Amino acid sequence: MTSQVIIGNWKMNGLVADARTLARAVADGVSSDTGPRVVVCPSFVHLSTVAAELSGSAVALGAQDCHHEGRGAFTGDISAPMLADIGVRYVILGHSERRAGHQELDEMVRQKAVAAASAGLVPVVCVGETQDQRAAGQARDVIGYQIEGSLPQDFAGIVAYEPVWAIGTGQSASIDDIADMMAFIRAELARQFGEGGKTMQILYGGSVTPRDASAILRVAEVGGALVGGASLKPESFLDIVRASAGD
């Protein structure tokens, strides 16, 4: 059985000292024999600092985005080879905040996934529906189209499902909601990618907390979690890691 993956997305939070302290606490709290693979994704400016703190630990370094080109006149952007060069192993792509705030379309996400894989990174591609799309009964159509448009045909990375309607809205996805969408995503991956789609890892990323992590991580087809706010507090994040390990 493939180990679950627990990814902490720190988003745009903290200064250097905060990143150093948080990385050290997570590295100290994750032993080499822990069941899940653990990844933390700080902001670009903190990657080197966090890489130094994670050195020799069981925690992998991830980034929150990358450009689809390997180099060039793209002011303010970061390429996948640049990330790989400083020890990054995973990269989050197509996050709902990037899709909404930066108008990233499926085609752009797909190009980034190709670039990430070419640089030796594991792309973690996010998909998810908004409240309006869900209310209109379009959730499955939206997710299906996002999978088709955002994942290249030879995709060998990770898919993360984000119920955008349940993130920071006061609403929450029930276990039945999660199980239903996970089953659909698995079926859609198998339909679009054949045998490879049957084993592709799917993470859940809808405001996971220590309180609900154990139940969520036991849902069929859930291969781990993409953790936002709870990843900024070492003990909360480590509680989620322990829930994945069955502790």
Q: Is 198 annotated as a binding residue?
A: no
- Distance of alpha carbon 129 from alpha carbon 132, whole angstroms: 8
* Calpha distance 185→129 (Å, rounded): 12
Mean pLDDT within 38-50 = 98
Whether 95 is a known active-site residue: answer: yes
Q: In the prediction, which pLDDT does 111 show?
A: 98
* Residue 9 counted as an annotated binding residue: yes
Q: What pLDDT does 206 receive? A: 85
Which domains are seen in the chain, by residue range? 5-231+240-245 (3.20.20.70)
**The one catalytic residue among 95, 97, 104, 221:** 95
Q: Say whether 165 counts as a known binding-site residue.
A: no
Report the chain's mean pLDDT, rounded to a whole number: 95
Average pLDDT over residues 57-64: 97
The pTM is what?
0.96
The yes-or-no answer on residue 46 being catalytic is no
Checking if the pLDDT of 246 tops 90, the result is: no
- Annotated binding residue at 207? yes
Average pLDDT over residues 200-221: 95
pLDDT band at 15 (very low <50, low <70, confident <90, very high): very high
Tokens 């080499």 sit on residue? 32
Q: Residues 153-185: pLDDT tens digits?
A: 999 999 999 999 887 666 678 999 999 999 999
pLDDT at 147 > cutoff 70: yes
Predicted confidence (pLDDT) at residue 112 exceeds the cutoff of 90: yes
- Annotation-wise, does 11 bind a ligand? yes
Catalytic residue among 97, 104, 129, 162: 162
The fraction of the chain above a pLDDT of 90, given in percent, is: 91
